[in-house]
Amino acid sequence: MHEECGVFALYGNGQIENPAEYAYLALYAMQHRGQQSCGIAVSNDGVIDCEKGMGLVSEVFSEDKLAKLSGQNITAHVLYSAKGASNIQSAQPIVMRYGKGRLCVATNGSLVNAKELRDLLAQNGAMFRSNSDAELIAQIVAKERMFCHSIEEAVKMTCENIKGAYSMVIMSPTKIVAARDPYGFRPLVLGKMPEGCYVVVSETCALNAIGAEFVRDIMPGEIVVIDESGARTYYQKENCERKICIFEYIYFARPDSVMDGVSIHGSRVNAGRLLARQHPVEADIVIGVPDSGLDAATGYARESGIPFGMGFVRNNYVGRTFIKPTQEQRSTSVGIKLNVLAENIKGKRVVMVDDSIVRGTTCADIIRLLKNAGAKEVHVRISSPTIHHPCFYGTDIPTREELTSNHHSVDELCEIIGADSLGFLDRDSLGELIGACSKTYCDACFTGDYPVE
């Protein structure tokens, strides 16, 4: 279980003024995908310079730092790292000097054969500064490039050896190459600037932030090359089976993004509608836990006829509790993250909609806040099924032992968190969130059905 990240790349072709500022804006728009470190790398006359640091985008990059990053081709990254990997060595992009020059890698996802590949490279003399998949991929691309005619050919050879989830951008001094794994676990989007230059981002919300036009999703198993002649498909693997992470729609992505043609906001509203049908209850108000619970709460209210209201004021400067690296940090941040609007809650039967229950501690803390504010009843509705399995494709879902649904029934969990009733989204209705007629998504964290062994 490694990262949940956001990637960005821009090929300026001499047409963009201050391109590093566009990278900053794009990363800022994708800050929700990673809040522990960030970085921007620029290519200028064959030299790749990189600035990265620990913390939020606004904390790491000042105007002075951005002004020093001169170069038309850019790769950038925001990172949430797994427990024990929160350090500057794991921050991306990874810049490498090798026999044929320099290259830069930024990736989102997690490789399932990383240890095998790392051990093989180490046996042949490779040295690693971190345990990140991005550095491993950079090592493989550099190795393959020594025997290939182009960087895109080296990326293709690399993709034939790595297994798991990866949506990545690779920058050489003259090109940018984007690649998505054959299952499309993680999103990757191609956009176009008004000046005619191309960008690659993890989410469409980043395109909006920099005024870029959406071109299309990069397809599962596709390798796209961007250079002075434009953007083109270099390789498309045949018979790819789309398995985008369903948690992108439930939790990770920003609601104003569109992934593989599906509105994130719309999918969450659908989840709320389904919850209202599957778990109806008599109540006075429906509230959502900010932010991803709000859209589902709207859907629940519309379907049930119970009025929607604001239950919380959120402090937007506190990071997500689900992806805090330690339990102590998660518990501490809940109290300063949310304040209850007592005037909307006091004396009322409340339906509280949230996106997931992982360990259960955060949900219990929030219910306690509501009842302390005078809520008569708190009925919890979760816009995802019960989670039973870890993720090996880039989402930091804990081990089976830490997942509370593996130790308690729904009724037991309801009592533990202090709710008056508890309902989860039916696992069989996940496809209805995104209008999928077939299972074009990965739900391994709910089912244990892993697309890649």
Break the chain into its structural domains and give their ranges: 4-242, 257-439
The candidate with the shortest Cα–Cα distance to 214, out of 186, 189, 184, 244, is 189
Instruction: Say how many C-beta atoms besides its own lie within 10 A of residue 449's C-beta.
Output: 12
Give the CATH architecture of domain 257-439.
Answer: 3-Layer(aba) Sandwich (3.40)
pLDDT in tens, the chain (453 residues): 335 799 999 999 888 888 999 999 999 999 999 999 999 999 987 889 999 999 999 999 999 999 999 888 999 999 986 544 568 888 999 999 999 999 999 999 999 999 999 999 999 888 898 889 999 999 999 999 999 999 999 999 999 999 999 999 999 999 999 999 999 999 999 999 998 999 999 999 999 999 999 999 999 999 999 999 999 999 999 999 999 999 999 999 999 999 999 999 999 999 999 999 999 999 999 999 998 899 999 999 999 999 999 999 988 665 554 455 555 555 555 667 889 999 999 999 999 999 999 888 889 999 999 999 999 999 999 999 999 999 999 887 778 888 999 999 999 999 999 999 999 999 999 999 999 878 899 999 999 999 998
At residue 32, the 3 state secondary structure works out as helix
The candidate with the shortest Cα–Cα distance to 353, out of 293, 265, 284, is 293
Instruction: Say how many C-beta atoms besides its own lie within 10 A of residue 47's C-beta.
Output: 11
Pairwise CA distance, residues 84 & 106, whole Å: 20
**Residue 148 identity:** C
Alpha helices in 95-233 (DSSP H): 114-123, 133-145, 151-159, 204-210
Q: Sheet containing 222-227: give its strands across.
A: 94-98, 101-108, 167-171, 176-180, 222-227, 230-236
Beta-carbon contacts of residue 152 (< 8 Å; ≥ 6 apart): 175, 177, 223, 225, 234, 235
Task: Write down the pTM of the prediction.
Answer: 0.91
DSSP state at residue 306: P
Residues classed as catalytic? 5
Contact 138, 102 (CB under 8 A): no
Beta-carbon contacts of residue 191 (< 8 Å; ≥ 6 apart): 198, 199, 200, 201, 204, 207, 212, 213, 214, 215
Contact 425, 409 (CB under 8 A): no
Pairwise CA distance, residues 270 & 259, whole Å: 15
Domain spanning 4-242: CATH 3.30.70.660: no
Beta-carbon contacts of residue 205 (< 8 Å; ≥ 6 apart): 29, 30, 253, 254, 256, 257
The candidate with the shortest Cα–Cα distance to 327, out of 375, 356, 365, 297, is 365
